[in-house]
Amino acid sequence: MIFGEDAFKRFDGDKFKGKFLESAFEAVSVGIASNLHSYSLPQDIDFITEKVEALHNKETFRKYTGSGSNAKTRIPKIIPFAIEYFKK
């Protein structure tokens, strides 16, 4: 595992912290799983690490997640974004 459960928490620029975030789980798991065929592991671990750490700073992710978001409006926007975002 690259991060373990931390991949689904917010990265503050130094470390992962806070609670489990459904939106991070949706984006990371679907984004990586959809692109798994294009990764060469373990060589691409740094690429994946950088993508997961930078996810919360991406405008599209921030726009459709956070307080007030719900799955009905979030998922149709986040899933296509995540698939594209995690492409190599």
* Predicted confidence band of residue 30 (pLDDT cuts 50, 70, 90): very high
Task: Tell me the whole-structure pTM to 2 decimals.
Answer: 0.90
Domain ranges of the chain: 4-10+18-85
* CA–CA gap between residue 31 and residue 42 (Å, rounded): 18
Over residues 34-58, the pLDDT tens digits come to 999 999 999 999 999 999 999 999 9
pLDDT score of 11 more than 70: yes
Q: How far is CA 25 from CA 1, 40, 43, in A?
A: 15, 22, 23
CA atoms in the 13 A half-sphere facing the CB of 32: 20
